[in-house]
Amino acid sequence: MKGEPKKLALTVNGKPYELTVKSNTLLVDVLRKELKLTGTKVGCLDSACGACTVHIDGKAVRSCSVLALQTNGRQVTTIEGVADGDQLHPIQEAMVEHGAIECGFCTPGMVMSAKALLDENPSPTREEVREAIQGNLCADEGYVKYIEAIEIAAEKMRGGQ
């Protein structure tokens, strides 16, 4: 039957889920509405702002631009899966300490894009940092602080001071 709900088995932040979703459901709606993981933000819902960025199999992807069913059998990581309990991830810590967070709406997406970069490339150039968050819009225009915070986090993650 047209639009009949389908089974979706995926792992989110290390936890396996088995859900039944309508075929036209976007990944971001499964995360926010079904799993109540509202850290992932919805900005434009149109592939333009990057606020809904999550990781699928370790890569930064926009969750508003992926059908939920396309993540069947895949590993999804959201902003809720980044901190280790109460211990913030170095990227989050650097963003807080460096004053990169203004209104905070774009921050989850920024963190996910930055983490995808640093997981793959621990010593990025400034150009590579800029490229990684090119698809994340900040309405407060706080890009420089974000870039600096990501560089501070990178250094810390490499074991520097």
Partner 1 sequence: MIADFDYFAPKTVKEALSLLSQYREGAKMIAGGQSMLVVMKQGLLAPEYLIDIKGITALDYIKYDEGKGLRIGALTIHRDIEKSPLIQKHFGVLSEMERNLATVQTRNWGTIGGNLCHGDPAGDPAPVLIALKAKLKLASSGGERIVEMEDFSKDYLEVALKPDEMLTEIQVPAPPPHTGTAYQKLMVMKGDMGIVGAAVSITLKVGDGVCQDARIALGNCASTPLRAPKAEKRLIGEAVTDALLVEAGEVAAAEAAPPSDVHGSAEYRREMVKVFVKRVARLALERARAAS
Residues 150/94, Cβ–Cβ less than 8 Å: yes
Residues 13/80, Cβ–Cβ less than 8 Å: yes
Select 69 or 157, whichever has its Cβ closest to partner 1.
Answer: 69
Give the residue from 54, 58, 57 showing the smallest Cα distance to 28: 54
Min dist. Cβ of residue 151 to partner 1 (A): 17
Min dist. Cβ of residue 131 to partner 1 (A): 7
Question: Rg for the chain (alpha carbons), in Å?
Answer: 16
User: What is the rounded distance in angstroms from the CA atom of residue 157 to the CA atom of residue 119?
Assistant: 10
Residues 52/32, Cβ–Cβ less than 8 Å: no
Select 47 or 99, whichever has its Cβ closest to partner 1.
Answer: 47
Q: Summarize as ranges the residues that interact with partner 1 (CB under 8 A).
A: 1-4, 6, 22-24, 26, 45-47, 50, 53, 56, 59-62, 65-67, 69-70, 72-73, 113, 116, 131-132, 134-135
| Other Cβ atoms within 10 Å of 160 Cβ, number | 8
Min dist. Cβ of residue 127 to partner 1 (A): 11
Select 95 or 114, whichever has its Cβ closest to partner 1.
Answer: 114
Select 59 or 158, whichever has its Cβ closest to partner 1.
Answer: 59
Min dist. Cβ of residue 59 to partner 1 (A): 4
Min dist. Cβ of residue 87 to partner 1 (A): 27
Select 28 or 37, whichever has its Cβ closest to partner 1.
Answer: 28
Residue 20 buriedness (CB in 10 A; 0-12 / 13-18 / 19+): exposed
